[in-house]
C-alpha cells in the first residue's frame, strides 16, 4: 500500500503526459527508471518523475532512442560522480 502513496500508476502517468505505456516499460527494461508492481498494476515513484520527464523530452523532442538514453544517463551519472569527488577533494584541501 505504501507504493501507492508515494507513486502513480503507469496508466495515470501515461494519461497525464500523453505518452505510451510501452515507453515507460521500455525505460524500466533498460534500467533507466524502476517500476514497482502491485497485483496487475505497475507504479512509478514520484521521485522518478523528473527523470521520466527528462527522458520523455530527449526521446520525443530530440528523437533519441533507448540506447542513446542509456548512454546519456550513464555519462550524466559519471559527471555527477566526478563533481561530487571534486567537491569532496576541495573540502579536504580547504579551498
Give 30-66 pLDDT, tens digit per residue. Answer: 999 999 999 999 999 999 999 999 999 999 999 999 9
Greatest CA span in the chain, whole angstroms? 53
More confident residue, 89 or 95: 89
Tell how far CA 1 is from the center of its chain. 22
Q: Which three cell numbers stand for residue 23?
A: 515507453
Domains of the chain: 2-93 (1.10.1660.10)
pLDDT value at residue 4: 66
CA distance 1 to 10: 16
Predicted local confidence at residue 2, as pLDDT: 47
Q: Are 21 and 10 in contact (CB under 8 A)?
A: yes
This prediction's pTM: 0.83
Beta partners for residue 7, in sequence order: 45
Neighbours of 64 (CB within 10 A): 16
Q: Give the confidence band of 5 by pLDDT, cuts at 50, 70, 90.
A: confident
What is the reported pLDDT for 1?
46
| Residue 95 scores a pLDDT above 90 | no
Amino acid at each position: 500500500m505504501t507504493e501507492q502513496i508515494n507513486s502513480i500508476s503507469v496508466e495515470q502517468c501515461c494519461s497525464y503526459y500523453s505518452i505510451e505505456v510501452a515507453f515507460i516499460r521500455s525505460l524500466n527494461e533498460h534500467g533507466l527508471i524502476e517500476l514497482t508492481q502491485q497485483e496487475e498494476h505497475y507504479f512509478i515513484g514520484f521521485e522518478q518523475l523528473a527523470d521520466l520527464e527528462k527522458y520523455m523530452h530527449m526521446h520525443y523532442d530530440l528523437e533519441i532512442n533507448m540506447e542513446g538514453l542509456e548512454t546519456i544517463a550513464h555519462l550524466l551519472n559519471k559527471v555527477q560522480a566526478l563533481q561530487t569527488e571534486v567537491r569532496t577533494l576541495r573540502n579536504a584541501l580547504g579551498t
